[in-house]
Amino acid sequence: MPFINEILNYDSLSIVGMEKNVGKTECLNYILRKLPLQEKSVAVTSIGIDGENKDQVTSTKKPEIYLREGMYLSTAEAHYRERRLVSELVEITNERSSLGRIVTAKVIVGGKALISGPSSGVSLRRWVEGIKKYGIDLTIIDGAISRLSSASPAISKAMILSTGAALSSNINTLVQKTKFVVEMIGLDKLEDASRDTLCDIESGVWGVDNEGNLVDFKITSALAINTIKVDITKGMKIIYTVGALTDKLLNLIAESKNIKNVTLVVKDFTKIFVSETAYRTFCSRGGNIRVLQKSKLIAVCVNPTAPNGYVLDSDTLCRKLREAIKLPVYDIVKNEYDI
């Protein structure tokens, strides 16, 4: 099982869906079923709510989360009370969600549970660190494409991406959209002496000039880039935005005469919110983007069935995705016993 064996090389994993109903929970359940618990102690949480038997938006049936004996779960008090498994409560934390405090428990007899854990990147990082005191070897975070912080390499070292017909009923469009996200995940790390210094910056837009000096552009974020009336790329080798990278900053640098001499840097791929059109234009003019921290994308899982019942050909979808992204692609439901 190369899919699972690859996961075992890491101590933290996030599972992120590109859209609702793309099979993220099926993927999570597959991993939870197949992990060798005699080798690894596992803890599970979610940045949203997962494990419901019906989608609250589409009213379609959803797979519930099954946790095996020996696993740890962290979830909100309200959902912990609704669990259908036997567990030992080991901790009630100060972290809170709208459904109460986050509690951690060890599963004594396997069963189903709703998972709704820490709701921010900062609290997730605390959870990952705090859960280690129970001898946890692997933390698994169920994420969401609208809240990519769970997949940040500052939180989890590896990730699985889920995509499917719910994102697009056209195979070529689906492949292209997924390929672009995979491309952003795979951006190279910055190799420069200023990297450690940039990692310590907490806000704003900064530059590193050709002599290696750090320059504060006095911009609160890339969203306020219009307040600058000068060419911020002049004399710079690096432009670093701590927060979100949007089309506005990308287009600004793409229009600069210095674009080929400047590297645009972001903290990690979860900070990138640019259109593919703007990105392709930026690259065609000689621009390049680097990240301070890089995620390891292990595989992509697909769900060829959309909530409206439309079904794509699974074999064709998997083949085209593999060719496009050069990574393992799995239809978990169809090929469970092959992976």
Q: Under DSSP, is residue 114 helix (H, G, I), strand (E, B) or coil?
A: coil
The whole-angstrom separation of Cα 103 and Cα 118 is 10
**Angle in degrees, CA 108, 95, 32, rounded to 5:** 35
Q: Which residue spans of the chain are classified as CATH 3.40.140?
A: 195-291
CA neighbor of 122 nearest in space, from 12, 47, 185, 48: 47
How far apart are alpha carbons 224 and 192 in whole angstroms? 26
Instruction: Please identify, in words, the CATH class of the domain defined by 195-291.
Output: alpha beta
pLDDT digit string (tens) for the chain, length 339 residues: 578 999 999 999 999 999 888 989 999 999 999 999 999 999 999 886 654 445 544 455 567 899 999 999 999 999 999 999 999 999 998 777 777 899 999 999 999 999 988 877 888 888 999 999 999 999 999 976 555 666 788 789 999 999 999 999 999 999 999 999 999 999 999 999 999 999 999 999 999 999 999 999 888 776 677 766 778 899 999 999 998 999 999 999 999 999 999 999 999 999 999 999 999 999 999 999 999 999 899 999 999 999 888 999 999 999 999 999 999 999 988 876 555
Amino acid at 158: A
- CA nearest to 287, candidates 313, 253, 316, 320: 253
* Ramachandran category for residue 133: left, alpha or beta (phi over 0 → left; psi -120 to 50 → alpha): alpha
Helix or strand holding residue 240 (H, E): strand 236-241
Amino acid present at 35: L
pTM: 0.89
Question: Please, what CATH class does the domain formed by 2-186+295-338 belong to?
Answer: alpha beta
Do 47 and 75 contact (CB within 8 A), yes or no?
A: no
Place of tokens 């690096």: 238
